[in-house]
């Protein structure tokens, strides 16, 4: 959530930010609700002042006198007016908060202009991705693929996009997760095993609500949401708390299964492991001092990149343009691996800085030593990493002429052998 003071004092700045993200928000309506709230607040304060004056005057009168009785009647009338005005004020305040939840975060000045994903900027490129690989196949076309990754039975049991991982397929997933978590631990992230269901307040704090209702699985009657990413429970760990300034940055990592409806997805992007409704991912999260948040973003991105380098996968880093930047992010990098069989890039991580946007919603603050007055932290997160597309890239890039897949050297200690066989 943006600072309401910023909206009041610099509405044109907010309009420009919304335009850069190519979003549509009725900012005039938000400002009108804010103006109504402030007018009502002044009226309530005036009535409270009149109530206090009448109470003082009544206290000075002898009880039972006509003047005292008249002042009691006046007090009752003013009290009734105060209650009605306070109720209207509360209703308007709730409307204003709901309206503010529709206003996106401001993009950082370094975010490039652009409307579509094609206008994202290639920030860096790593590894050979253009070399011919005569044996490469899309992973779902590798002979025997369905023996280890059973989409048909998953669809029977649950629905499309919920595959079974079997034998060495499940073993390779587990190996990747263990590798990710241990590497993240070495980088200074403290591992957390969080709940995989969250309440509406948690989803609102991170920006999933009211922006992404259609992408989440919701339970009834409890109205809990299956996590679309561990970002949601992790960020809310410190909701409504004040951190020690000396403890910043706080760094955590977590593995969870993730659940996304992916409504509207279609075409080649959803083949095989490219896009599924349940998948495994390790998330990296930081709560940082505002003065260091962009330095910490670079470090976070490098932590995610290091995993890809160790897996020896060709990848690139994209700096997202305004139109492809999320509702809540100020700046975002995407990491994409090269899938040799599909001859295309697959996103495996997004590394984002939300500045104080999530922290204001969640009221996560720190107490500066110099002033002692609590201030909002900045929150950052990134995937470290998402399993399915990393797995797809390993299968496609490391497919051997004999039909086996070479396991990256860093995974062999976890997987227990040097090749995955589909036989």
pLDDT mean values, one per 10 residues, the chain (423 residues)? 95 96 96 96 91 84 85 84 94 96 97 97 93 89 97 97 97 98 98 98 95 90 96 98 97 98 65 95 98 98 98 98 96 98 97 98 96 97 98 97 97 98 86
Active site residue 383: no
CA distance 190 to 247: 13
A 10 A CB-CB count for 180 gives 26
Q: What is the pLDDT of residue 117?
A: 96
CA distance 394 to 139: 9
Considering 202, 283, 389, 396, which one is annotated as catalytic? Answer: 389
Q: Are 328 and 382 in contact (CB under 8 A)?
A: no
Considering 202, 252, 260, 396, which one is annotated as catalytic? Answer: 260
Nearest to 217 by CA among 205, 201, 231, 203: 203
Q: What is the pLDDT of residue 98?
A: 95
- Can you list the domains of the chain with their CATH numbers? 4-100 (1.10.287.40), 117-420 (3.30.930.10)
CA distance 397 to 407: 10
Active site residue 275: yes
Q: Are 325 and 111 in contact (CB under 8 A)?
A: yes
Considering 175, 350, 356, 383, which one is annotated as catalytic? Answer: 350
Q: What is the pLDDT of residue 76?
A: 85
Considering 252, 275, 301, 361, which one is annotated as catalytic? Answer: 275
Could you tell me how many helices (H) and strands (E) the chain has, helices first? Answer: 13, 17
Q: What is the pLDDT of residue 229?
A: 97
Active site residue 361: no
CA distance 347 to 274: 9
Active site residue 350: yes
* CA distance from start to end of the chain: 53
Q: What is the pLDDT of residue 269?
A: 66
Q: Are 328 and 207 in contact (CB under 8 A)?
A: yes
Spatial CB neighbours of 143, under 8 Å, sequence gap ≥ 6: 403, 422
A 10 A CB-CB count for 66 gives 8
Active site residue 389: yes
Considering 347, 367, 404, 421, which one is annotated as catalytic? Answer: 347
């Amino acid at each position: 959530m943006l600072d309401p003071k910023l909206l009041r004092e610099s509405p044109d700045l907010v309009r420009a930010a919304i335009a850069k993200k190519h979003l549509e928000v009725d900012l005039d309506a938000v400002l009108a609700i804010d103006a109504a709230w402030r007018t009502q607040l002044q009226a309530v304060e005036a009535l409270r002042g009149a109530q206090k004056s009448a109470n003082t005057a009544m206290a000075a009168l002898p009880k039972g006198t006509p003047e005292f009785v008249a002042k009691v009647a006046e007090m009752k009338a003013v009290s009734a007016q105060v209650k009605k005005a306070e109720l209207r004020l509360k209703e308007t305040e709730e409307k204003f908060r709901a309206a503010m939840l529709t206003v996106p975060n401001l993009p950082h000045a370094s975010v490039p202009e652009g409307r579509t994903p094609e206008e994202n900027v290639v920030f860096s490129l790593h590894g050979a991705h253009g070399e011919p690989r005569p044996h490469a196949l899309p992973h779902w076309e590798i002979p025997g693929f369905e023996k280890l990754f059973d989409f048909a039975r998953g669809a029977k049991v649950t629905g499309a996009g919920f595959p079974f991982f079997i034998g060495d397929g499940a073993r390779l997933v587990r190996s990747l997760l263990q590798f990710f978590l241990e590497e993240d631990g070495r980088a200074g992230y403290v591992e957390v095993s969080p709940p995989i269901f969250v309440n509406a307040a948690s989803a609102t704090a991170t920006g999933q609500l009211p922006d992404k209702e259609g992408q989440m699985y919701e339970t009834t009657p409890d109205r809990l949401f299956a996590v679309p990413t561990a970002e949601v429970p992790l960020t809310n760990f410190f909701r409504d708390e004040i951190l020690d300034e000396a403890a910043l940055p706080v760094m955590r990592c977590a593995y969870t299964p993730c659940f996304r409806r992916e409504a509207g997805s279609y075409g080649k992007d959803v083949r095989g492991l490219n896009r599924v409704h349940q998948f495994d991912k390790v998330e990296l999260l930081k709560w940082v001092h505002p003065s260091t948040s962009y330095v910490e973003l670079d470090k976070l991105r490098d932590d995610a990149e290091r995993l890809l380098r160790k897996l020896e996968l060709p990848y690139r880093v994209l700096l997202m343009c305004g139109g492809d930047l999320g509702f809540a992010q100020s700046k975002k990098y995407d990491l994409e691996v090269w899938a040799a069989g599909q001859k295309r890039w697959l996103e495996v991580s997004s590394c984002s800085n939300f500045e104080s946007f999530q922290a204001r919603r969640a009221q996560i603050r720190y107490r500066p030593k110099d002033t002692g007055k609590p201030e909002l932290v900045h929150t950052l997160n990134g995937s470290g990493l998402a399993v399915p597309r990393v797995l797809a890239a390993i299968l496609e890039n490391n497919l051997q002429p004999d039909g086996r897949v070479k396991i990256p050297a860093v995974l062999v200690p976890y997987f227990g052998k040097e090749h995955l066989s589909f036989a």
